[in-house]
Amino acid sequence: MSKVARSPRPSRGTTLACIAALMLTIIGPTSSAFASAEPTRSSAELSPTVSVAIDPRVAEITVAALRTTLSGHLPGMTPQVHSRPVSDQRHATWVEQQLAVTQVRAVVWIEPDPEGGLRIGLRLAGDGGTWARRLPPNDDPAVLLEQIGAMLSGMLTFESPNEEQPPPPSPEPTPSAPEPAVVAEPIHPLVVDASVGYLGSMLGASAPWTHGVTVQSGVWLRRGWVLGGAVGVVPPHRLAAGANVRVYRVPIHASFGYRFRRDRRFSPAVIGLAEVDALGWSPARGDGIEGRRGWAARASVGAGVDGRIGLGRGAFLGLRASFRAWLVNGTIVVRAQEDSRTILRGYPISAVVTVHAGYAWSLPTVRRTNN
């Protein structure tokens, strides 16, 4: 009878070794899969972001060139450049939306300045104040980009989250009074202008339209209000009443009004004014007219409209049309031999037109208002 050979029974140690190898085979790949599934963050997500809005009216600077320049001047920060208008009503909302993003540390906007340069605004996250700087006009876009980059590099201060923080400085004495809070206000610098031009005005039936020159000056206050003044000289005009009498005038007026769209190339305004007019006359000799040279004062109030077109670098052209309602008027009566007649009676309401050219100066370039 044959015997069946039986395989040797494995020992207990051999069995445990097989179980351990099987567990390593199952658990090992699973652990590496879990390790590779952990999310990773790019350096751009961890680095602070600067949102920059450049107005489309700044045609000499492109979005790509500005992004490249800021990347070189702002190491450790990620500039996000947008082309969008910054003078409309939605700009303030956009700024607040950008500051609400966690990684955004500052919002910057760049727009044209009325004097031909650039105006740069800055809001820091966690700070309600608005910083403003002005760059003078420059015809070289490369130089202008470097100026923008250098200015923003000095204005921005960040702390990188990946860097170890230095030990805190030694405590200093607490100031007696807290620093005042910063209030963000519209960036409208004080502007002073001066101009010279043509003055045309109505006088009376015997002098329906007179010509002269005028010198004007004004101050653009905050929020669009404007103050102004002007003095004119109307040279002698001979009256068309048959008498050899010449009249001349020196009108002086002060005005107050409101200018719209003051940051745009064309800016209209409405004004009210008060005027004092020195009216002079001079009879010629040998015409049988009794009298001599004299002066009389007239007074009026009025209103009008004014329009200006910016020519760049502060220069502008202006046109103003207004009317005068004369509260104190003038009349010239001549007496020749035994006859007297009125040769000039001023219109009760007259029209005035001026065409002038001038220059405007922007006074403050940086303003930060405290409570």
What's the pLDDT tens digit per position in 225-235? 999 999 999 99
Question: Where in the chain does DSSP place strands (E)?
Answer: 49-54, 78-83, 104-112, 118-124, 130-135, 182-183, 191-201, 210-220, 225-238, 245-259, 266-283, 294-312, 315-328, 331-336, 339-345, 349-362, 369-370
User: For residue 18, what are the CA distances in angstroms to 8, 30, 121, 320?
Assistant: 17, 19, 72, 102
| pLDDT at residue 43, as a whole number | 44
Can you give the residue range of the structural domain that contains 92?
45-156
Query: Does residue 33 lie within any of the structural domains?
Result: no
| pLDDT at residue 12, as a whole number | 53
| pLDDT at residue 151, as a whole number | 85
Two tokens, residue 86:
């910054």
State how far the Cα of 138 lies from the Cα of 42, in Å rounded to an integer: 38
215/149 same-domain check = no
Give 242's pLDDT tier (boundaries 50, 70, 90).
low
What's the pLDDT tens digit per position in 329-350? 988 887 766 677 788 889 999 9
Q: Are strands 104-112 and 49-54 parallel, antiparallel or unpaired?
A: parallel
116/203 same-domain check = no
206/355 same-domain check = yes
Single-letter code of the amino acid located at 159: E
Q: Is the pLDDT of residue 247 over 80?
A: yes
Domain boundary among 101, 132, 156: 156
Q: What is the pTM of this model?
A: 0.51
56/124 same-domain check = yes
196/117 same-domain check = no
350/252 same-domain check = yes
What's the pLDDT tens digit per position in 161-179? 444 445 555 555 555 555 5
State how far the Cα of 276 lies from the Cα of 217, in Å rounded to an integer: 17
What's the pLDDT tens digit per position in 307-336? 999 888 889 999 999 999 999 998 888 776
Q: How far is CA 108 from the centre of its chain?
A: 14
As a whole number, mean pLDDT of residues 180-188 equals 48
Query: Does residue 338 lie within any of the structural domains?
Result: yes
Q: How many CB atoms lie within 10 A of CB 130?
A: 21
Two tokens, residue 4:
């069946």
Q: How many CB atoms lie within 10 A of CB 215?
A: 16
